Amino acid sequence: MATLSDQPNHYGLVTRTLHWGMAALFAAQFTSAAAHWALPRENALREALWGYHGNLGATLFLLVLLRGVWGLMNIQRRPRNSGTIGQAAVAGHVVLYALMVIVPAVRLLAAAGSTRGFSYFGIPVFPARETAIAWTQVAVEWHGEMGWILGLVIVGHIAMAIVWHQLVKRDDVLTRMT
């Protein structure tokens, strides 16, 4: 059990699997978003990449809820961050969690209130409505923008881990997640 749970000097197997597994899935999710933004509608690569955006986004939503619950269960045992930079790191992680929940949640909410509905890997979750619920469609205006903000925060997070901790400070912050 010890290696599954987090320890004060190292994240456990569950946290590490969720962290790196979700990092790979986020890379795929942003690839589909970038293709959607950059390529013309009729482009075959854009269509292929866009085909998984909703299913993968909903999967990431479920995974972040699981990860949040596991993180809270382990909060007393997790590696601690001290000092001002440490406090900033904690704040950065809270922002990451907030956006990882809000970005897919607003899109799923919009799908629930829309005339198209939503199916998860072919299983109907939200049936298509005859008329859309107007207020559910408002938040969706922000889905793409908030998604890109999440992408920027992730870039900052990776830069802090690799450039600041690994190359400048040369501390154990990266190795405790590997």
Give residue number: closest CB to ligand HEM.
57
**Residue 81 or 136 having the CB closest to ligand HEM:** 81
Q: Which residue has the tokens 């293709």?
A: 35
**Residue 80 or 130 having the CB closest to ligand HEM:** 80
CB atoms within 10 A of CB 6: 23
* Euclidean distance between CA atoms 28 and 136, whole angstroms: 27
Sign, Cα dihedral of 104, 107, 112, 118:
negative
Question: In the bound complex, what is the minimum distance in angstroms from residue 53's beta carbon to ligand HEM?
Answer: 5
Question: In the bound complex, what is the minimum distance in angstroms from residue 47's beta carbon to ligand HEM?
Answer: 13
* Euclidean distance between CA atoms 84 and 134, whole angstroms: 44
User: Cβ distance 108 to 53 under 8 Å?
Assistant: no
**Residue 68 or 131 having the CB closest to ligand HEM:** 68
* Euclidean distance between CA atoms 135 and 46, whole angstroms: 30
Name the site residues for ligand HEM (rule: CB under 6 A): 15, 19, 23, 26, 29, 33, 36-37, 53-54, 57-58, 60-61, 71, 79, 81, 89, 93, 96-97, 100, 103-104, 107-108, 111, 118, 140, 143-144, 147-148, 150, 154, 157-158, 161-162, 173-174, 176-177
**Partners of 119 in beta bridges:** 124
Question: In the bound complex, what is the minimum distance in angstroms from residue 130's beta carbon to ligand HEM?
Answer: 20
Question: In the bound complex, what is the minimum distance in angstroms from residue 1's beta carbon to ligand HEM?
Answer: 19
**Residue 111 or 113 having the CB closest to ligand HEM:** 111
* Euclidean distance between CA atoms 6 and 79, whole angstroms: 8
Question: In the bound complex, what is the minimum distance in angstroms from residue 27's beta carbon to ligand HEM?
Answer: 7
**Residue 113 or 176 having the CB closest to ligand HEM:** 176
User: Cβ distance 28 to 52 under 8 Å?
Assistant: yes
